[in-house]
Amino acid sequence: RNSVQDDVLLPPPHLISSNVPGGMQVNTTLIIATVPRDEAHARALWSHLECLTERIDRVLVAAPDVDWSRNIVEAIVQDFMLAAAINQRSVPIIETVYFDNNRYDVGLWCDALATVPKNQATFLVNDSAFSRINFNNLTERIVRATKQEHIGQLTNVSSSTMSLKLLSLNGRLGPSEPPGTKYNWVESVYRGFTPQGLITFINHSCNPEATQKCLGKGVRCIVDNFEIALSGAYPKGEVGAIYPSFVPSSDEEMKDWEMKGINMTELSEQKWVFDQWRDGKAYYHYLVDKFNFPLLKVKAKQKFIRLDPGIECYRTANESFFASLFYPSKMLLNSYHGSTIVQKGKIADP
C-alpha cells in the first residue's frame, strides 16, 4: 500500500563507485518535535517511535526544557524501549534533547539539528498527528536522493533526475505556479531532506532573523513563513510531496499527481475542493481507503470522537501507561514560554 511511484531513479550500477563514502551507506536521523501536554500528544510521540523508525539509525526526541515535559518524554522513551525488548524488536538509537525556545516545532527542530551531521538524510516530524501504520516510503525516497547527491558530487553528474532535496508527506503542488505561493507549497508535519536540502532549510528557518519572526504570533505566521515561504527557498523541481493536502482543484493538478503515482481522477465529480486531509472528513477517509494514508491529525481525532481509521502504532504500549503520566495543568502550560506559543489561554498546535 506504500508503493507510490518514485520521482527519483537510482543511477546505473556502473556509477555506484566503491569510492562513495560508506559504500553508499546513508545514515539517517529522525527528529521528533513534541510538547507532550496531554494523553493524545503522548500517544502521538509513541506512534512515531513505533511506526516511522524503520531504516532510521538515530532518533532525537526534541521537547521543552521544563520538568513536566522531561518527565513525560523520559517515561515514554523508557517504556517504549522496554516494550521493544519484550517483543524482541530492534530499534534505533533514541536520544532525548530539551530546549527552551518559543518557536513552535521549528525551534525544536532547529535546536536539535545542531547535533546532527549535515552529510546524511534527515527527517522531521511533529506530534500534531498520530502515525497510523508502519511507513517508510518517505525515508526510502530521501535515502535514494541522498545517494544520488553523493554520487553527483563524486562524479560531477548533474541531471533533473537528481534534483529532489525536500520531500513532504503532503503538499499542494500546482504545476504552473511558482514555488512558495499558496498554490505551491508543502506541509511541515512530516518531511525529509537530503544534505543539500537540509542546508537550505537551516539557512531559511534557523537563522537569527527567523528566530524572531513569529514571536507572539499564531499558527498562520508559522504556515506563511516556515511552510509556504520555505518552499520558495528551493528551485522548482527540488521540492516534492507524496500526497496532495487538498483535493486537486483542476484537471492540470489531477494529471500532475497521476504522473507522481497518485491517481485521483475519479474525484473530479466530487464537491470536496476545499476539503483537506487534516480535517478528518470525507477526503481524509478517501486517502485512507485508497492509499492507506499513514497519519491522522490529533485535532481531528479529538474533534470527531468516533473517527477511527485504525491506528496500529501504539499496539505495543500498555493502555494504562498513557493515563498514568502526569500531564501539565493549564496553569503550567500558560506559564510555559518554550517551543509553543500561548495565546488567550490556548496552546497553538500547527
Count other C-beta atoms under 10 Å from residue 162's C-beta: 18
Which residues of the chain are modeled with pLDDT < 50? 1-22, 159-162, 338-350
| Amino acid 299: pLDDT | 86
What is the per-residue pLDDT across 176-231, written as a single tens digit (0 to 9) for each?
Answer: 777 777 778 889 999 999 999 999 999 999 988 887 887 777 778 888 888 888 98
Catalogue the E-assigned strands of 82-120. Answer: 93-99
- Which residues, in sequence order, are CB contacts of 122 under 8 Å at separation 6+? 28, 29, 30, 31, 113, 116, 192, 193, 195, 198
> How is 251-308 classified by DSSP, letter by letter?
HHHHHHHHHTT---GGGGG-S-TT-BGGGTSHHHHHHHHHH---EEEHHHHHHSTT--
Give the per-residue pLDDT at 98: 95
pTM of the model: 0.86
As a whole number of angstroms, the distance between CA 314 and CA 46 comes to 6
What pLDDT score was predicted for residue 304?
A: 63
Three-state DSSP at 151 gives helix
Q: Which residues of 176-188 are buried (b: 16+ CB within 10 A; e: fewer)?
A: eeebbeebbbbbb
